Amino acid sequence: MTEATPLIDERTSLHQRPIVIEVRDLAKSFRIPNHRINTFKERIAHPLTRQTYRELSALRAISFEVHRGEFFGVVGRNGSGKSTLLKILASIYRADRGRVRMAGRLAPFIELGVGFNAELTSRENVVLNGVLMGLSRQEARRRLDSVLEFAELREFADLKLKNYSSGMMVRLAFAVMVEADADIMLIDEVLAVGDAAFAQKCMDVFRARRAAGKTIVLVTHDMSTVQSFCDRAMLIHDGELRYLGDPEETALRYYRLNFGGHAGAAPGDVPDVNVRLIDAWLENPAGQRVDNVEQDEPIGFNVAFEARQDLRSPVFGFHFLTADGTHVFGFNETLALEDGEPNVLRAGQRARISGTIENRLLPGRYYVTAMISRNHHQGDLALHVLRLFDFVVYGTRPGPGSVSVQADIATTIENP
């Protein structure tokens, strides 16, 4: 794919561009049968019991608009209603109330796929879906090659889809959607599947399409994508629009919803008899409590314990781990003492461990554990490993591994 020259790339001018999607006061609810009656027999067996339904309100009073050439993110927890919204935009569900208007041709990518029929070959499916996305049959056939090329599935063109692996299927589906060359792409969670190379390819496509003035609506759980790609983003929670605007702010609010009101372990929850956790939190350089930290910004680290029994020679140990449990780094702290002061934290006294940590963590999820030993003895634990809080490092410069380090390296050409 050729990288088109950006027609429009200033975020500030976005609102001046024409609107391509306009949603006004949209509402949708589903009727969930309390006991699903699926056969006549059940109807006949219980003629008098009226089928009762539970009303599940999936979306309430959603209004927003998307401008041409915008990369628009939709985030929310599972079950928040974001996929329902996408399905309404794609004319798969009908809204109960409200108005949706759209300009241009639409290519949807829903539930990790397009309208594939497993019994057909990929060749037939590609043409069928091309037409579904508004191409003519000739046009769809003409693009067959480039679709297979993009999906890297040329040698499997005549294989029935039921014999495809799920990865191949997603690749083909994405290729179909991309090559449909629609004005608006509606994409639900494409980045959650596939390997890193595929994710990179998706990103390249998004970049190129946006540069070409196409509109992209992306539903995702990946906040680093939202932060690095989206012009604007929208947070949906419990079927309601909670925030619309700055992607950074959207991501932040999303994390807040995910990690609950306060990021730390709930104080007093710890059953340990020796020490009680009072509070644990992170601060940003401005001294505000945060649930997430930006890449490269120093981490303000704060923990407060209260001793319930006298602790002699306590050592406070903290470990930073990635979400999958790999240790990244850690440090130990002892009480800072005046001359002659005994190295004891008395029962009822509080210890506050706070300071700033250089942040070399790459974007990702991390958590912090604490451990307290006493009597100069690493094995004599006053507090067993306690998970203090989870946090996310967000930023636009991901990389391999978990940390970035300063390296003074140069590559030069050596003539033999």
The full 3-state SS of the chain, as one line of letters, equals: CCCCCCCCCCHHHHHHCCEEEEEEEEEEEEEEECCCCCCHHHHHHCCCCCCCEEEEEEEEEEEEEEECCCEEEEECCCCCCHHHHHHHHCCCCCCCEEEEEECCCEEEEECCECCCCCCCEHHHHHHHHHHHCCCCHHHHHHCHHHHHHHHCCHHHCCCEHHHCCHHHHHHHHHHHHHHCCCCEEEEECCCCCCCHHHHHHHHHHHHHHHHCCCEEEEECCCHHHHHHHCCEEEEEECCEEEEEECHHHHHHHHHHHHCCCCCECCCCCCCCCCEEEEEEEEECCCCCEECEEECCCCEEEEEEEEECCCEECCEEEEEEEECCCCEEEEEEEECCCCCCCCCEECCCCEEEEEEEECCCECCEEEEEEEEEEECCEEEEEEEEEEEEEEEEEECCCCCCCCECCCCCCCCCCCCC
Which listed range, 107-115, 268-276, 304-312, 387-395, lies at the site for other proteins (CB under 8 A)?
107-115
Residue choice 1, 22, 191, 221 for contact with other proteins (CB under 8 A): 22
Quick one: which of 59, 127, 178, 233 contacts other proteins (CB under 8 A)? 127
Q: Report the residue number, 213 or 267, with the smaller CB distance to other proteins.
A: 213
As measured in angstroms, the least distance from the Cβ of 233 to other proteins is 21
Nearer to other proteins, 104 or 330 (CB): 104
Q: Does the footprint of other proteins cover residue 314 (CB under 8 A)? A: no
Q: How far is the CB of 19 from other proteins (least distance, A)?
A: 7
| Binding status of residue 39 toward other proteins by CB under 8 A | yes
To other proteins, the closest distance from the beta carbon of 113 in angstroms equals 6
Q: How far is the CB of 168 from other proteins (least distance, A)?
A: 15
Does position 19 bind other proteins by CB under 8 A? yes
**Binding of other proteins at residue 6 (CB under 8 A)?**
no
Give the one residue of 134, 267, 298, 317 binding other proteins; rule: CB under 8 A.
134
59 is a contact residue toward other proteins (CB under 8 A): no
For other proteins, the closer CB: 101 or 327: 101
Q: Which of residues 80-99 bind other proteins (CB under 8 A)?
A: 87-95, 99
Using the minimum distance from each CB to other proteins, give the nearer residue, 89 or 311: 89
For other proteins, which residue of 7, 45, 118, 403 counts as binding (CB under 8 A)? 118
* Site of interaction with other proteins (CB under 8 A): 13, 16-20, 22, 30, 38-41, 68, 87-95, 99-104, 106, 108, 110-111, 113-120, 124, 127-129, 131-134, 136-137
